[in-house]
Amino acid sequence: MKECCEMKGFLSFIVLKLISKKQMSGDDIRKELAKRRGSKPSPGTVYPVLKSLSKSGFIKEVKDGGKTKMYKLTKKGREEVKLATRKFCTIFYDMKEEFRRS
């Protein structure tokens, strides 16, 4: 496997982490991100990330019979979210002293 992570960008990590908790639609993700940052990202921000994660094999579309596309993690996605979470925690854990000095 390439050096963690194959995903590009922090938003990809957040989207993958959200989908790891439950199946979500693009709009569900936008709403969840709005809760965290105070404004809802545009579809033009979220849907390219979903497309990229799908193309990389980390998520797949779930057919539910409705018009809304739902996404869930693949086995590869579960492995990637574990690696990416470890990497994220390592990076920010190492910086905790920097944040305390501020």
Among 35, 31, 40, 28, smallest CA distance to 64 is for 28
Domains identified in the chain, total number: 1
Identify whether 79 is part of a domain.
yes
Token representation of residue 8: 């590009």
**Across all residues in the chain, what is the average pLDDT?**
84
Dihedral angle over CA of 83, 12, 73, 68, nearest 10: 170
Q: What are phi and psi of 41, to 5 degrees?
A: -65, 155
Q: Are 40 and 33 in contact (CB under 8 A)?
A: yes
Q: What is the pLDDT of residues 35-71, one digit of tens each?
A: 987 788 888 889 999 999 999 999 999 987 778 899 9
What is the pLDDT confidence band of residue 95, given thresholds at 50, 70 and 90? Answer: low
CATH number, domain at 83?
A: 1.10.10.10
Q: Which domain holds residue 73?
A: 10-101
Q: How confident is the model at residue 5 (pLDDT cuts 50, 70, 90)?
A: very low
- pLDDT at position 16, please? 94
CB half-sphere exposure, 47, CA atoms < 13 A: 6
Whether 4 is covered by a domain: the verdict is no
